[in-house]
A = this chain, B = another copy of it.
Amino acid sequence: MSGWEVNPWLLRWNGLDVEQLRRTESVFALSNGHIGLRGTLDEGEPRGLPGTYLNGFYEAHALPYGESGYGYPEDGQTVVNVTDGKVIRLLVEDEPLDMRYGKAHEHARELDFRTGTLRRRTVWESPTGRRVTVRTERLVSLTQRAVAAILYEVEPEEDVQLVVQSDLLANEPVENDSDDPRVAAALEDPLVADFAHATGYRAILAHHARNSELRMAAAMDHELETDDGVRTEIRAEGDLARFTAAVDVPAGGRLRLVKYLGYGWSAQRSVPALRAQVEAALAGARQTGWDGLLAEQRRFLDEFWEAADVEVRGDDELQQAVRFALFHIMQAAVRGETRAIPGKGLTGPGYDGHAFWDTEMFVLPVLACTVPEAARDALRWRHSTLDKARERAAVLGQAGAAFPWRSINGAECSAYWPAGTAAFHVSGDVAHAVARYVSVTGDLAFEREHGAEILVETARLWASLGHHDQHGGFRIDGVTGPDEYSAVMDNNVYTNLLAQENLRNAAEAVERHPAVAERLEVTPAEVEGWRRAADGMLVPFDDLLGVHEQAEGFTSHAAWDFERVDPDEYPLMLNYPYFDLYRKQVVKQADLVLAMHVRGDAFTPEQKARNFAYYEARTVRDSSLSAGTQAVLAAEVGALQLAYDYLSEAAFTDLHDLHRNVHNGLHMASLAGAWTGLVAGFGGMRDHSGELAFAPRLPPGLQGFSFRLTYRGTRLAVEVAPDQATYRVLSGDGLDASHHGERFTVKPGEPVALSIPDPPQPPEVRQPHNRAPVRRTPPGNQG
C-alpha cells in the first residue's frame, strides 16, 4: 500500500516516514497557479526538498555544449526555490520541536479537496517529557492570488514556555544528487538580497535572481493569540526575516498564531513597487482574516467541484485518486493568469519547472471542460510568447511561429535538438488546444483576440516546414513526434495529422475573423496553400502489415529485443543509447495511439484496432504521458479491462510513485490522464470537428461513474451505469451530442437515458515482456 488512507475527499498520511518526506511534500503541495508551496513540515526539518515557487520566476544559466551548433539555445532557465515563508519553528522550554527526536504520540497530515487546505495534527513529547499538541492548517489562497496563510496552534499539557520563530528564509540549501537528465539542474544561492525591512509583526525581504535579474519580494504578517503575556521580536536582513514570540502557556491553554504571506515578482517593477505590491496583498489578507480566507477557499472549491466532479462507484481508491488529480490540476492552473502551466505544476523542481506540450494535449482538455478560464489563460500565455516563437522559427529558417519544447518564459531551453527543436508537433499541439478550447467553450472573443493569431502563425510554420513531393503528397520531414524513443523521422503520423488539422483550422479562423487576416497579412493564396497542404498531407501506412507507420520507415526497423531487458533497466533511456532506441521499433509513449485519440476522425475502427494491437506490443510506457491515452484507445477498441488497468496506472502514477520521481513534483499530464481515461476512455467523449460524442462503457468490476462538463454554456452531467447512460442538463440551454454514434438532444429538466450496446470484439493485445500494466481489480466500495 501507498501509505495513503482511502477517503473520497481527503488524502491523509498517518505517522512520519522521513524517507517518504520528499514524496509526500509533492503530494501535499498547495498552489493556486501563481504561488506553490511544497508540503514541508512547518518546522523546516526534517525535510525532503524544500520548495516555494512563483510561476514564471526563474534563474537563467548558460547551456553547455561539447560541440555547439547554429541555432542552439544559449540560455537555460530553472525554477528557483524562492524565499520560504512556510517555516514556523517551535521551542518547548528551549527544546526545538523536531520529529526525529522525542516521541510523536500522534502525527497525521491531510490534504482536504473541499477546504483546499493542508492540515496537520501532531502530539509530540519532547526528549525531556513535555507534551504538546500542534495543529496547523495551511492554504494558498485560490481567491487572493498573492496570498498564502498558515494557522499554527499549540496546546501544552503542562505549564511551559513556548517560543515560536516564524521565518522568511531565502537561499535555503537544496540538494540535488542525481545526474538523471530529468532531474532539475542544481542552482546554488540564486537570490541576491536587495532589501529587508521589519517592524512590529511584519517583515519583508526583496531579492533578485543573479542572472535572470527577475525581482521578487516576500512579506509576512502575524496575528498572535495567547492566554497570557507575550514578548515578541522581529528582524530582517539579507536572506532572513524572523518574527519571534515567547509565551508562557499554562496547561490546557493555547498559543494561536496566524501567519499571512504575500508574494510578488516582476521583470519590470522596482523594489519599492514590489514592496508595495506584497504589502497590499498582506493588507487584503489581514482584512479578510483567517476565517474569511478559509470561507472564500471553501466557496471557490464548492463551485469547482460543482463544475468538475467525477464520481466513481465500485473503486474507492480510484475515486480518491481522480479527485486528487482534479484538485491538483485545478491548483496548477487556476490563478496562473497568462503564465505557463509547468509539467509539474508548482509542486517541485522537476524538469527545471518548464512547461511542455503536455499542458496543451493533456491538461487543457480537462480544464477546457471544467475550468475554462484557466484553459484560456494558459493559451493566453502561449499567445504572449508569440514573438519569441516567431524569432525561433526565423532562426530555424522557417516562417510563422515555432513554440519551444521546454521553457518558462517562452524561449526554447532544450539543449538536445533531436528531442527538442525537432519536436515541431509542439506548435501543432498548441494550435490543437486553441481549436479545442474554442470548440468546447464557443469563446469566439478569445479566438479573435488571441487564438486566430496562434492558428495562423502555426499554419505558416507547417507550410514552410513541409513540401509537396513529386506525387503531390505533402511531406513533413526530419521531425520528432511524441514518442521520445524515435527522433528526426519523416512524416510522423501524429505530427502530420495535427498539422493537417492546424492548417484547416487556420483557414477557417481567418474566414471567421477577416480583420485578423488583414492584420496578419494573410492572403487568399496563402490560405489556398494551407488547404492544399492539408489535403495532400502524407500519412504513411504499411500495406503489408495493414497498420500505420508511426513515421515513414518505422515498421521496417528492427524489433527491440524486449526479452533481454531486465525489469530494472526501465526507463530504457537510462540504460540504452538513443541511437539504438531511435532506430528500432520500441515506443516510449503513445504517439500513433495518441494520434488515434485526438485525430480519431482520421482512422477507421478497423485501423484503430489493428494499430492499437501493433503499437501496444512495442510500447514500454517509460513516460508518464502514455497510460492515460492507452486507456482511451483500449476502451475504444473494446479492451475494457486493459483500459481500466491503464486508467489506474495514470491515476496512481503519483500516489503510488510509479516512476520513482514524484519527489521532484507531480506529473500534471498523468493526473490529467486519470480524468481523460474516465471521460474520453469509458465515457468515450470526443469532439472532432465540434461534434460532441459519447460512447460510454464500463469495465468489469466498476459499478458506474459520472462526470460533469460544460460545453458551450451548458453544464452536462453524464452518469454511466452498466446498461445505460443518463445525460442531464445541470444548467444552460441543453445541447446536441451523440451516444455510440446516435445523435440525441438533451434539454434542461429532460434527462436522456440511453442503453449501452455490447462492446466490439477487441483485437488480441499483448505488451512487451514485463511491461503489461498491473491488473486492476477494484478493492470494492468501502464508502
Q: Which residues of A contact B (CB under 8 A)?
A: 63-71, 76, 179, 181, 395-398, 414-419, 421-422, 467, 469-470, 475, 477-479, 487-488, 490, 544, 552-553, 556-559, 573-580, 582-584
Contacts and interface: CB of A to CB of B under 8 A. Distances in A.
B69 A396 contact: no
Contacts of A76: 66
A460 to B, nearest CB: 16
A477 B583 contact: yes
B490 A487 contact: no
Nearest to A74: B66
7 contacts: A66-B415, A68-B179, A477-B584, A478-B557, A488-B488, A490-B556, A553-B553
A777 to B, nearest CB: 36
Given A398-B580, A417-B579, A421-B579, 7 more contacts: A64-B66, A69-B578, A70-B578, A417-B578, A470-B544, A475-B556, A490-B583
B583 A67 contact: no
A656 to B, nearest CB: 26
A550 to B, nearest CB: 14
B395 A577 contact: yes
**Most interface-central of A396, A475, A577 (chain B CB within 10 A):** A577
Contacts of A577: 69-71, 395-397, 417, 421
A573 B70 contact: yes
Q: Rank and list the top 9 A-B pairs by shortest CB-CB distance, nearest first.
A: A66-B415, A478-B583, A64-B64, A71-B577, A467-B558, A63-B66, A477-B583, A67-B416, A67-B415
Contacts of A490: 553, 556-557, 583
Nearest to A76: B66
A576 B421 CA distance: 13
Given A577-B397, A577-B417, A478 B66 contact: no
Contacts of A557: 475, 477-478, 490
Given A470-B544, A477-B557, A490-B556, A397 B580 contact: yes
B67 A181 contact: yes
Contacts of A415: 65-67
A416 B559 CA distance: 25
Nearest to A415: B66
A63 B69 CA distance: 15
Nearest to A179: B68
B488 A575 contact: no
Nearest to A416: B67
Contacts of A583: 477-479, 488, 490
Nearest to A557: B477
A488 B477 CA distance: 13
**Most interface-central of A66, A556, A577 (chain B CB within 10 A):** A66
B488 A582 contact: yes
A18 to B, nearest CB: 30
A607 to B, nearest CB: 20
A579 B73 CA distance: 13
A706 to B, nearest CB: 43
A374 to B, nearest CB: 30
A396 B580 contact: yes
Given A421-B577, A553-B490, A558-B467, A65 B66 contact: yes
A69 B414 CA distance: 13
Given A67-B414, A70-B573, A490-B553, A579 B478 contact: yes
Given A477-B557, A490-B553, A580-B397, A575 B416 contact: no
Contacts of A584: 477-478
Given A488-B488, A490-B556, A556-B490, A422 B69 contact: no
Nearest to A406: B67
A575 B71 CA distance: 8
A399 to B, nearest CB: 13
Contacts of A414: 67
A481 to B, nearest CB: 14
Contact of A396 (B396, B470, B579): B579
Nearest to A538: B556
A216 to B, nearest CB: 26
Nearest to A467: B558
A575 B487 CA distance: 23
B70 A574 contact: yes
Nearest to A64: B64
**Most interface-central of A67, A414, A477, A578 (chain B CB within 10 A):** A67
B397 A70 contact: no
Contacts of A467: 558-559
Contacts of A552: 553
A576 B66 contact: no
A472 to B, nearest CB: 12
**Most interface-central of A397, A422, A552, A576 (chain B CB within 10 A):** A397
Contacts of A575: 70
A69 B573 contact: yes
B488 A579 contact: yes
Given A64-B66, A556-B469, A422 B579 contact: yes
Contact of A487 (B179, B469, B488, B576): B488
Contacts of A419: 67
A479 B559 CA distance: 16
Contacts of A574: 70
Nearest to A473: B556
A557 B465 CA distance: 11
A533 to B, nearest CB: 13
A574 B64 CA distance: 18
Nearest to A476: B583
Nearest to A477: B583
Contacts of A67: 181, 414-416, 419
A69 B418 contact: no
Contacts of A68: 179, 181
Nearest to A583: B478
Nearest to A488: B488
A578 B397 CA distance: 11
Contacts of A470: 544, 556
B70 A576 contact: yes
Nearest to A413: B66
A427 B751 CA distance: 71
Contacts of A66: 63-65, 76, 415-416
A541 to B, nearest CB: 15
A34 B76 CA distance: 43
Contact of A576 (B397, B422, B488, B556): B397
A115 to B, nearest CB: 41
B478 A582 contact: yes
Nearest to A63: B66
A416 B579 CA distance: 11
Contacts of A553: 477, 490, 552-553
A578 B72 CA distance: 10
B544 A69 contact: no
A546 B559 CA distance: 31
A487 B578 CA distance: 13
Contacts of A469: 556
Contacts of A582: 478, 488
A431 to B, nearest CB: 20
A763 to B, nearest CB: 21
